[in-house]
Amino acid sequence: MKTGIESIGFYSPQYCFDLRKLAAERGVDGDKYIHGIGQSYMAVPPIDEDVVTMGANAAREAIEKVDASAIDAVIFATESGVDQSKSGAVYIHRLLNLPSTCKVVEMKQACAAGTMGVLSALGMIALNPKSKILLIASDIARYGLNTAGEPTSGAGAIAMVLSANPVIMELDYRHGTYAADVMDFWRPNYMDEALVDGKYSIRVYLKALTEAWKDYARSTDRTFDDHDRFCYHLPFTRMGIKAHSYLYKHCGDSVLDEASLPAQVDASLRYNRLTGNLYTGSAYVALLSLLESPDEQLAGKRVALFSYGSGCLGIFYSGVVQADYRQYLPANQHKTMLEQRSELGYEQYVSMYSTRLPIDGSEFMANKHRTGHYRLAGVCAHKRIYESTN
């Protein structure tokens, strides 16, 4: 039985900020952000969008052409959760009118939670081939203003229906893993912004990559050259380029010329360069960016996927793109969504960044901004109120 991706939805906020403008404000050479880090824009969520509304927008698109009555679980992966107890999945379950027989849960292990959700879904489908699982990875990557992490901020959500009808991509459950208790990036419950030991986090990412690769290669007998394309967790796009070259040098079995490496990752970097880090969704936005690239013919090609979640967990696995994959991807909608965003000026960016929900339970009604089909209307009696915008 084949299992994998039947549909994909993607959403990123409708406001963005140009990293050249940020560089000018921070007194940094713009080329550092554009080329050194590899980011052109960051997506900026307004106060009436959070991981639930972004996730609901992505999920709405993912279930548009799928028999939603067959969805029997919603797995919500995030590290920007809105409640310590209630899962984001259950809000989205209501917003999308999913069946009451559907299971709902939220998962966390930094950016690796999306892939833990995928692997869990594949296991559930193996036990019940009729099942369709809605996996949503939604996050706001938020660092302090004027910190080294700031240019790697971003936001958005990706949603996939995983099932035994993987018309986009068959996923192989066999994977390699590396876990270790490290403090490279974390966010204590009392903080809004992530704390990070940036350079150390890059070293741990690369260690997790090579160790997870070795475990994967052992369990699948595949070599580097068995893979046509590689999608990495992208905290910023240069990380994907660095990771690919590092893996090539350390896997020890490639006969490829080094000059062929960029073609194996370039198409996966396009969307992230415009949105910034999506944490749990990042590796899958890389995959979508690759699949929707007009320059790629991917039918039958094996794509490697590496997810890295700080703290840390690395997971390496792969899948094969299916023959008619293109017809199931709303590539033009995604292009339009990213092209029609409103660009913020610096003052607007700082103001949007600094507007926060009250933390003392006082009532709050959020100003209306450009959003997708769902928005956070406010907070009343400690309860978040979500509404449809149409």
Phi, psi for residue 155 in degrees, rounded to 5: -165, 155
Residue closer to ligand HMG, measured from CB, 236 or 325: 236
252 with 258: CB under 8 angstroms?
no
Nearest to 285 by CA among 76, 114, 147: 114
Q: Residue 32 interacts with ligand HMG (CB under 6 A)?
A: yes
167 with 6: CB under 8 angstroms?
yes
133 with 6: CB under 8 angstroms?
no
Residue 386's H or E segment, with its range, is strand 383-388
Among the residue ranges 194-202, 293-301, 320-328, 375-383, the one whose residues contact ligand HMG (CB under 6 A):
194-202
Residue 59's H or E segment, with its range, is helix 51-63
Interface with ligand HMG (CB under 6 A), residue from 181, 199, 294, 332: 199
Using CB atoms within 10 Å of the CB of residue 121, give its burial: 0 to 12 exposed, 13 to 18 middle, 19+ buried. Answer: buried
The single residue of 16, 102, 111, 231 carrying the catalytic annotation is: 111
Q: Which residues in 229-258 contact ligand HMG (CB under 6 A)?
A: 233, 235-236, 239
- Annotated active-site residue 231? The verdict is no
Count of Cβ atoms closer than 10 Å to residue 342 Cβ:
13
In angstroms, the CA 296 to CA 267 distance is 8
Interface with ligand HMG (CB under 6 A), residue from 77, 110, 337, 366: 110
Among the residue ranges 63-71, 84-92, 199-207, 289-297, the one whose residues contact ligand HMG (CB under 6 A):
199-207
Q: Residue 144 interacts with ligand HMG (CB under 6 A)?
A: no
Interface with ligand HMG (CB under 6 A), residue from 5, 8, 19, 37: 37
Residue span 69-98 as binding mask against ligand HMG, x where in contact by CB under 6 A, dash where not:
----------x-------------------
Residue span 279-318 as binding mask against ligand HMG, x where in contact by CB under 6 A, dash where not:
x----------------------------xxx--------
**What CA–CA distances, in Å, run from 333 to 8, 12, 280, 296, 346?**
12, 12, 22, 18, 28
Active-site residue set: 79, 111, 233
User: Which residues of the chain form contacts with ligand HMG (CB under 6 A)?
Assistant: 29, 31-32, 35-37, 79, 110-111, 148-149, 151-152, 184-185, 196, 198-199, 201-202, 205, 233, 235-236, 239, 277, 279, 308-310
